[in-house]
Amino acid sequence: MPERDLPLTVFDEKVLQRYLFFILHSEDVNDRSARQRMEKLVNYPAKRNLIIPEVIYYNSTTTDENDKEKKTIDYGHGVTTLAYKPDFVIYHSGDESRVGPLSGSGRFLEVKWDYEQRFAEHQWMALMKNKESIVASINDPTEDEWKEIVGKKGTELINKYPSLKDEDWLINAHKNIEHYHINSEHFRDWAIRNVGTLVDNQLNVGAKRYWLMLMNRPMMNNWRRMLDEKKKPFWAWINQGKNLSTLMEMSGGDEIMFVEAKSHSGQGRWRFKNIDEKQLEKDEYSVKSMYHLKITSRNGKSAYRCYLGDCFHSTFFETCTNSSCTSNGCEGCGNGEKRSMNNVEWPHFIEMEMIGSPFFLEEWKKLSRGGLHKRLGQNGSKPFTPAELSRYEFGRLKGQITNK
């Protein structure tokens, strides 16, 4: 009888991808040195705008025998390969044009357990050609060893495609890809800290969470403009503070309340810092309308999404690059350009569906902040990060708004 065994190596590369994405956005002191080692790499942008997972990179298309369009990368000199989907595209902050499949200018980050295995030729080539690329893995080569590995790969590719022998990106391949060592001890520590979240997401379980989003007058204008489109409700958050990490915690099925509100704290500001909590609890605010929604997700539980390309959503909340432009989705008024992913400002989205009917009050209604004191202040102030409420707080607030 043939031998059987049960390997305990159950993680795949996806776990390493999540790990890197989280530590690159983490403010946890435990993740600091892992993050800073990445930020010190020459190929990692000094000022980052955005990191987006799984973008398809290609620069041409061909039609196959069944008339289906196939995305490919054309390297010139008659050499074409499959399109490449880097694990992450990192966009530096800057004035780039919204061109090509990356909708801007991005650097590639490829994550591998072990770069000696499962590294396909078209991946190597795209990393070399795009330049300023990074390969992250558990391996720990010295700088010289890494250069030698990439150099050898470059030579192999020249032997295979002699027409590319004068291409600088191939001859100097070793200058175009840097290595980032994933410290296995730190990965282990991170995995233990986050295993609960990972398992909950995989099993599609975990308690439903409740969120609040206060809306000021300009936001209400955008909110109504969005509802007028008669599409599935959606909203975008600015690329600042804890917005991305908070949206990453939102799951399909969570409930969220969008509330038109204004503060009566200091001069209409939603203060929350350096103030006596007792005073904040007594601070008043007013509400005018309320929308109760369910957060939706397409696959799996995570609801966060980011849009590339020129789709309807991607520029809906964006002004153009003309510095005086204040019209969202203007498509370039005053000779400004559509923003690229290098200077996009509102890239973090969730989609929702309405629960029941929106609720409108005839007059502004005054409420006390009570136990929501600081959270209301934070949520009402830039960068307008959604506040998490308990199920009880959520129901109580909804009642306070809608009860006669």
Residues at the contact surface with Zn ion, assessed by CB under 5 A: 320, 325, 330, 333, 336
Comparison of 176 and 343: residue with beta carbon closer to Zn ion: 343
Comparison of 117 and 323: residue with beta carbon closer to Zn ion: 323
Least Cβ distance, residue 323 to Zn ion (angstroms): 10
Least Cβ distance, residue 317 to Zn ion (angstroms): 12
Nearest by Cα to 270 from 256, 280, 258: 280
Nearest by Cα to 248 from 316, 192, 312, 297: 297
Paired tokens of 115: 């770069």
Nearest by Cα to 214 from 296, 305, 287: 287
In whole angstroms, give the CA distance from residue 385 to residue 235.
12
Comparison of 176 and 328: residue with beta carbon closer to Zn ion: 328
The residues near 77 (Cβ < 8 Å, ≥ 6 apart) are: 161, 163, 164, 167
Least Cβ distance, residue 334 to Zn ion (angstroms): 6
Q: Which residue's beta carbon is nearest to the bound Zn ion?
A: 325
In whole angstroms, give the CA distance from residue 30 to residue 190.
8
Least Cβ distance, residue 330 to Zn ion (angstroms): 3
Comparison of 320 and 401: residue with beta carbon closer to Zn ion: 320
Comparison of 336 and 371: residue with beta carbon closer to Zn ion: 336
Comparison of 205 and 333: residue with beta carbon closer to Zn ion: 333
Least Cβ distance, residue 103 to Zn ion (angstroms): 17
The residues near 353 (Cβ < 8 Å, ≥ 6 apart) are: 232, 233, 293, 294, 296
Paired tokens of 133: 């690329």
Comparison of 243 and 342: residue with beta carbon closer to Zn ion: 342
386 DSSP assignment? P
Least Cβ distance, residue 331 to Zn ion (angstroms): 7
Distance of CA 364 to the CA centre of its chain: 36
Total count of residues recorded for the chain: 404
Comparison of 268 and 334: residue with beta carbon closer to Zn ion: 334
In whole angstroms, give the CA distance from residue 150 to residue 382.
45
Helices (H), 5-114: 13-25, 32-39
Task: Kindly state the helix (H) or strand (E) to which residue 179 belongs, with its residue range.
Answer: strand 177-181
In whole angstroms, give the CA distance from residue 194 to residue 285.
37
Paired tokens of 339: 């923003």
Least Cβ distance, residue 242 to Zn ion (angstroms): 29
Least Cβ distance, residue 215 to Zn ion (angstroms): 23
Comparison of 191 and 325: residue with beta carbon closer to Zn ion: 325
In whole angstroms, give the CA distance from residue 72 to residue 83.
4
Name the one residue in this structure whose structure tokens are 């923003």: 339
Least Cβ distance, residue 345 to Zn ion (angstroms): 13
